[in-house]
Structures are given as structure tokens and as C-alpha cells.
Amino acid sequence: MRTPWLCWALCALALARPGAALTGQQVLGSLLRQLHLREAPVIDAADVGQLVTPAHVRAQYVALLRRSHGAHSRGKRFSQNFREVTGRLLVSEASTYLLVFSMEQRLPPNSELMQAELHLFQEPIPEVELHRLSASSAPARVTIEWLQVREDGSNSTSLVDSRLVSIHESGWKTFDVTEAVNFWQQLSRPRQPLLLQVSVQREHLGPLASGAHRLVRFSSQEQGGAAHGEPQLELHTLDLRDYGAQGNCDPEVPMGEATRCCRRELYIDLQGMKWAENWVLEPPGFLAYECVGTCQQLPEPLSFKWPFLGPRQCVASEMTALPMIVSVREGGRLRTRVVSLPNMRVQTCSCTSDGALIPRRMKP
């Protein structure tokens, strides 16, 4: 015999991979978590027959329904095509730089950003300074942050990459700034440039720490172009006409092994589920959809370049919540209540590689 806690745990664990077919047990598990219940309540039909849903409860339910069609939660997001973008390097302090990249028309239409790499040229230390350093001088830490200028003029930064560089070495250094470009794509004013703040800091703190990190300098545009070390932003993208999904499945075409990734209709009939009886008042059922089909795989050269990426799979990249009206007992009385179950309906199916970066949503 299952205990109520065991039932709740099993429902909570019954989570499908993104885009897989939703089941009634997963809906039940989500509903139990939202209401902080151990098991589905048993409600008498006669009690529900006398229950009236107040106007404000129904208005809240309708408002959530409308919002669910516009508020999507995003899933995951490497490259066959790349473009280099030249940036201006503006020095504000000896150890802090601001990179300004024009991004207009740099990302091809109908493409997916897989990776963005920032290449900075570390200049050699002058001989006179090199003789003063010991061979064991501590490395310097280079930190890359995305800089957002809000509409009210205030600034905020988000850390995107950080690594140690040797003070004694020179040459090109590469940083992963994919997340910064993903943040930039979320801006309401997409024509503004991409701003990256580069900071060079000492690795060890304290009064006895060396100030040798100040000798780490990166070349700027004013020093004579890309051949002389101008900052470069390399954007890797995939053409979604080949590597993406096709949208909704054609109901007239039977599914097969060669079916390209698409969104297929899947109806969840809540009225036909015993646990929902007299408990879930609205909706009687809903279209959940599921992601089916296959995705074109990356060619061998790219698979070798990014060995940490798994095969491209057909998954849900955007999902919406499911509002419900349920009957609950409060203080011995039966009332109606609106709840919203997250990630219940698939809005968009996409092809993505297992192990690829999942973009963070930009903070407001």
C-alpha cells in the first residue's frame, strides 16, 4: 500500500524530458505541489453541484488564460557559420576596458546563436618592466561582464566569463561571451550596441599582493587594425532551415523515422481521469502538444570541435502555463480557487544539443 507521501513523491518524479508527451500523472504531480497537498482530495459530487464560482475567480482564470498565450518560458540553446565583428576599445582606467560592438545585421535571420567568442590580444610586457618581475609572479584575472544601459540611464553588469592569464605571456586570449549576446538579444531596443566590460584584477588580495596585474594590456583599434590585435567578436550560428524544427506537424502526413522535428497535437482529457473528478472544475481538458521527429546532426568537424555536445534532439524550447479552477476545502467549507501549473503546454519545438548552454533570462 502506498503512503500519501510516497504517492506525492512518485508524481513529483514523473517528469518528462522537455517536449515529451505529457501524462495525467504529471499534471496531478504539478497540481499537488502547487496546492501543497499530499494526495488528491476526494470531493462529493453533491457538494460540487451547489458550488458557485464567484465572478472574480472566473475573471482571474480568464486573465491567466490570456497571459499564458503571451508569456513563454524558454528552454535551451553551437557552429557552421561564423562572423567576425570589429569592436572599439575605450580605455576608462588602467585595468578596465569597455568594448563596443555594433550588432546590427550581424546575426543572420532564421539562425540560432550557438557560441560567441571574444578574442583579445594581450600585448607583450616592455623589456624594462619584464626584468623587474620574478618568474613566479602571480597571474592576473581577466573578467568579462555584459554591461546593460537601462532606459533611465542606470547601468547594470552580468558576469559572463572569467579566467587567469599569465603576466609573462602575450598573444590572443579567448573568452566565451555567448551569454552576453543572448542577453543582448533580449533587449527591447535591439539596435543598441553590445557592451562588454573587461577588467584586469590581481588574483591575490592583501597589502603584500603584487601590482603586476597592471602590466596586462590588450591592444585597441587605434593601434592599427585586426592584424595588430584589434578586439574581435566571433559569432557562431546554425542555419535553422537545415538544423531547426519545421513548426507544427502536418496531420495528413504519417509519422516516420525521417519526420523532421515538429509539434504534434496531444489532448489531455481531465474529465476522463478519476483523480480530477469533482476537484478540477476548469478546464475539462487541454491541448498540451508534444515534440516529435528527428533533427539533423552536426557534421563531424563541429562534433570534434565541441565534444561536450550530445546529439541534437527535438525538444520544447517554449512552454506556457496551464490555469485551472479547482475546488478546495477551507475552514470546513468548499470554495473555488485558481491555480497556474507551469510548463504544461508546448508552444515551440526546437532542435538543440544535449549539453548546450541554457540561456538565463535577463533580470528586469
Domains and CATH numbers, the chain: 15-76+241-353 (2.10.90.10), 81-238 (2.60.120.970)
Packing angle, helices 24-35 and 4-13, rounded to 10? 120
CA atoms within 13 A on the CB side of 248: 8
Question: What whole-number distance in Å separates Cα of residue 235 and Cα of residue 87?
Answer: 13
pLDDT in tens, the chain (364 residues): 344 433 433 333 333 455 567 888 999 999 999 999 999 988 888 888 888 888 998 899 898 888 876 655 444 433 445 556 666 655 544 478 889 998 877 888 888 888 899 999 988 887 776 666 665 566 888 999 998 887 777 888 889 999 898 888 889 999 999 999 988 888 877 678 899 999 888 776 544 456 677 788 887 645 544 455 789 999 988 888 888 888 899 988 888 878 899 999 999 999 989 999 989 999 999 999 999 999 988 887 666 666 667 788 899 988 999 999 999 888 778 889 999 999 999 999 988 887 666 566 666 5
Q: Where are the alpha helices (DSSP H) in the chain?
A: 4-13, 24-35, 45-49, 55-68, 127-130, 178-185, 240-243, 300-305
At 94 the pLDDT is: 47
Which CA distances in Å does 63 have to 136, 319, 347?
64, 18, 18
**265: nearest Cα among 246, 292, 284, 244:** 292
**26: nearest Cα among 35, 36, 18, 16:** 16
Partners of residue 156 on adjacent β-strands: 148
Question: What whole-number distance in Å separates Cα of residue 336 and Cα of residue 96?
Answer: 57
At 239 the pLDDT is: 85
> Is 199:96 a contact under the CB 8 Å cutoff?
yes
For the stretch 70-107, pLDDT in tens is 655 444 433 445 556 666 655 544 478 889 998 877 88
Cα Rg for the chain, rounded, in angstroms? 27
Question: What whole-number distance in Å separates Cα of residue 21 and Cα of residue 187?
Answer: 33
DSSP state, 206?
S
Is the preceding peptide bond at 283 cis, omega within 30 degrees of 0? yes
Q: Residue 59 has which C-alpha cell?
A: 475573471
Which CA distances in Å does 306 have to 80, 179, 344?
12, 17, 32
At 341 the pLDDT is: 93
Question: What whole-number distance in Å separates Cα of residue 119 and Cα of residue 357?
Answer: 20
How open is the CA angle 150-357-294, to the nearest 5 degrees? 125
Interacting residues of 62 by C-beta distance below 8 A, sequence separation 6+:
none
The continuous run of DSSP H or E covering 202 comes out as strand 194-202
Partners of residue 111 on adjacent β-strands: 239
At 33 the pLDDT is: 93
**314: nearest Cα among 134, 26, 76, 67:** 76
CA atoms within 13 A on the CB side of 14: 19
**181: nearest Cα among 108, 110, 101:** 101
Question: What whole-number distance in Å separates Cα of residue 121 and Cα of residue 175?
Answer: 11
For the stretch 179-232, pLDDT in tens is 999 888 888 776 788 999 998 887 765 444 566 777 888 876 455 444 557 899
Q: How many helices (H) and strands (E) does the chain have?
A: 8, 16
At 185 the pLDDT is: 85
